[in-house]
Structure 1
Amino acid sequence: MKILLIMDPGIPIPPPTYGGHERLIYMFAEEYTRLGHQVSLLAGPNSIISGKVYSFGLNDLKRSKWQKTKELLFVWKFLFRNKKKFDLVHNFGRLAYLIPILNESVKKIMTYGRPVSKKGIKTITALPYKNLTFTACSNYCVTTGNVAGLWKTVYNAIDFSKYQLREKVATDAPLMFLGRLDKVKGVHHAINVAIQSGSKLLIGGNIPDTKDNLEYYEKMLKPFFDQKQIIYLGALNDYEKNKYLGISKALLFPINWDEPFGMVMIEAMACGTPVIAYNRGSVKEIVSDAENGFIINNEDEMLNSLRSIEKISRKKCRLIAEQRFDVTNIAQQYLSLIK
């Protein structure tokens, strides 16, 4: 089968550090290739997969609206000219990219990893279309856009072969937070819990650049980074995530918003590291309470759950997650949608 994957420019594929969806697309491209399919990628400059790459646009997350309009026109022209060359177009980018082929026979999957614009779904499905399946990364995420069309839940994935299971950690092993240092991610809750429990806390993630989140970082987080108990590691690559997650006794995930999925949770589980997470968004779909972590509601409950963290089998923690979220399984789920 000939497959075309599409992603917005902004971050190259695979991403050097931050870029959850970009990392997903790279994994699926390589897995589809391993399964014997001919895979092409339409994405930003400097993107690399084993198959053919068509580059367009700019790798700049702050690029202008005019630049994004030019990118849209480029994709429209590309798809119109090449619509008969592919059996499947799997789009992780803008829904509007698909307009030229909406009513063509080529199979189409539109995948979402964040809350969905209901207006966009209603607009597209008001046009003539066929062979189009919408997917989102959790049941929660599906509910944000399921107002028209055919919807399926297909969870996000990681390549578990890239992560090392650590069955045992030190008795004084640190806690870890991994993610953007934005207020909605709740890093301050993780810091409070670490201080109250007397634990070290490793923090990996990007310093925010939006005004409100930068102010949050400067006032609520940075003053606590003593590099002794509260240790800021910076943005981490895959090797570093594997290293630091592996030595941690738990990943703290105290989100203050409805997270559509939360890739860091399964990255932690791949290392055998249990997840203690606030019950928001997709958390209850990913964390099996008392099996690979704990689902809690506030800092006090997070503190209490730390007392039971050693009861969780790190080997079982990884096994449960691998059976559900390994890229080999998730890629097959996508392909099964078009049979």
Structure 2
Amino acid sequence: MRIAQVPPLYEAVPPRFYGGTERVVAHLTDALVELGHDVTLFASAEAQTKAKLVKVRDQAIRLDPALLKSDLAAHMSMLWDVRRRAHEFDIIHFHTDILHFPFFEDMPGKTLTTLHGRLDLKDLPGVYWRWKQFPLVSISDDQRTPIPFANWAGTVHHGMAADLYKPHYEPGGYLAFLGRISPEKRPDRAIAIAKRLGVPLKIAAKVDAADARYFQEKIEPMIIGQKLVEFVGEIGDDAKSDFLGGAQALLFPIDWPEPFGLVMIEAMACGTPVIAYGCGSVPEVVEDGLTGFIVHDEDQAIKAVSRAMTLNRREVRRRFEERFSATAMARRYLDLYARQGATRPDMALVANG
């Protein structure tokens, strides 16, 4: 099958540090190639991929030192290039939210669009009513809640390359928080849990410009002069095995409708249980009592930390491999690609596995 993958251009593919969508696209693309498919990736020049790379920008937008740049112009140029070459592909898999809809109105059946973000935003329902011909993929069933009427083709949970993470079956003496410092991710909850337990907490997280004030006013006062809490900063994939694998558990104390939560499966890949507040996708990702615990308040989270030490970390890793490997994700997408092609005689229904 000839497949085009079209991610956003904000981060490298895969990202050097934080960046969920581009990371998932990187792992999906490589897994599809390994399954024998002809895959073309449209991305910035520093992408590392097993697919054919079409370099649509010299650098990922966030890595570009230029002070004046247009993310809209960059994406429009990429979509023009994809449109120009559309005849070369059996399926064009977009990860650019809604931006490509007007460009491909005459060929929606040749596309599949995975939505990676939250959908409870004011203007989104009108867009999905207007362009209802485009088949969509959710990354969790819960993500669909704000727009149940949309043209859903299926749900595919994220996956990661299994060999990227080395599991640790003997945890260290700390808790981990990984991801992004923001009000909805609730690092303040993680700090409060660690302080009540008297257990060290390591925070490896990105601070976006939009969240700098929150970090300075809310989080920094909670950790300055506090020996129990260590702020590590943003880390890349090469550091995650040790960071996550060495932890007793990952704290994921979110307070928003999380569409998926990639850090949960990264922790599982390292054999580390997840203690997560039951919002959004969490009940679909965490198997309570097997790969972690789903909690609803601070007291439950504190009890779950000691219970997490009793879980079989080898079983946590095994469930990751079964449910959330890149190969498992790729096979689920291949099923959707084939289903899309069932009504199109020009598309070969080739799907390995």
Q: What TM-score does the superposition give when structure 2 sets the normalisation length?
A: 0.87
User: Is 1:121 aligned to 2:124, yes or no?
Assistant: no
Partners in 1 of 2:236 and 2:301 — Cα distance? 27
Aligned-pair distance for 1:88?
A: 1.1
Aligned-pair distance for 1:105?
A: 7.7
User: Is 1:87 aligned to 2:85, yes or no?
Assistant: no
Query: What is the aligned partner in structure 2 of residue 3 from structure 1?
Result: 3
- How many residues are treated as equivalent by the alignment? 330
Partners in 2 of 1:71 and 1:329 — Cα distance? 32
What amino acid is aligned across from residue 141 of structure 1 in structure 2? Answer: Q
Query: What is the aligned partner in structure 2 of residue 298 from structure 1?
Result: 297
CA deviation map 1:140-180 (0-9, x unaligned): 1122333232331100111122112222224xx10111110
Aligned-pair distance for 1:67?
A: 2.9
Query: What is the aligned partner in structure 2 of residue 168 from structure 1?
Result: 170
Relative to structure 1, the CA distance from residue 214 to residue 317 in structure 2 (aligned partners, 3 Å threshold; closer, same or farther) is same
Query: What is the aligned partner in structure 2 of residue 214 from structure 1?
Result: 212
User: Is 1:205 aligned to 2:200, yes or no?
Assistant: no
Relative to structure 1, the CA distance from residue 178 to residue 152 in structure 2 (aligned partners, 3 Å threshold; closer, same or farther) is same
CA deviation map 1:57-86 (0-9, x unaligned): 563359999934433542443233212110
Query: What is the aligned partner in structure 1 of residue 70 from structure 2?
Result: 67
1:139-288 alignment runs, 5 A limit = 139-170=141-172, 173-210=173-210, 213-223=211-221, 224-226=223-225, 228-288=227-287
Partners in 1 of 2:99 and 2:246 — Cα distance? 43
Q: Determine what percentage of the aligned residue pairs are the same residue.
A: 29
Residue 220 of structure 1 aligns to a residue in which SS?
A: helix
Aligned-pair distance for 1:52?
A: 2.3
Moved more, 77-86 or 6-15: 77-86
Q: What TM-score does the superposition give when structure 1 sets the normalisation length?
A: 0.90
Instruction: Give the counterpart of 1:108 among 65, 87, 111.
Output: 111
Where do 5+ consecutive residues of structure 1 fail to align?
none
Partners in 2 of 1:96 and 1:258 — Cα distance? 23
Query: What is the aligned partner in structure 1 of residue 315 from structure 2?
Result: 316
Partners in 1 of 2:96 and 2:20 — Cα distance? 13
Relative to structure 1, the CA distance from residue 314 to residue 107 in structure 2 (aligned partners, 3 Å threshold; closer, same or farther) is same
Where do 5+ consecutive residues of structure 2 fail to align?
339-353
User: Is 1:54 aligned to 2:54, yes or no?
Assistant: yes
Relative to structure 1, the CA distance from residue 234 to residue 69 in structure 2 (aligned partners, 3 Å threshold; closer, same or farther) is closer
Any conservation in 2 of the 1:12–1:46 contact (CA below 8 Å)? yes
Partners in 2 of 1:86 and 1:106 — Cα distance? 12
Aligned-pair distance for 1:104?
A: 2.8
- Note the aligned Cα RMSD (angstroms): 2.2
Residue 272 of structure 1 aligns to a residue in which SS?
A: coil
Relative to structure 1, the CA distance from residue 233 to residue 121 in structure 2 (aligned partners, 3 Å threshold; closer, same or farther) is same
Give the ranges of 4+ consecutive aligned residues of structure 1 lying more than 6 Å apart after TM superposition.
Answer: 62-66
Any conservation in 2 of the 1:9–1:45 contact (CA below 8 Å)? no
What amino acid is aligned across from residue 60 of structure 2 in structure 1? Answer: N
Query: What is the aligned partner in structure 1 of residue 102 from structure 2?
Result: 99
Aligned-pair distance for 1:256?
A: 1.4
Partners in 1 of 2:74 and 2:52 — Cα distance? 19
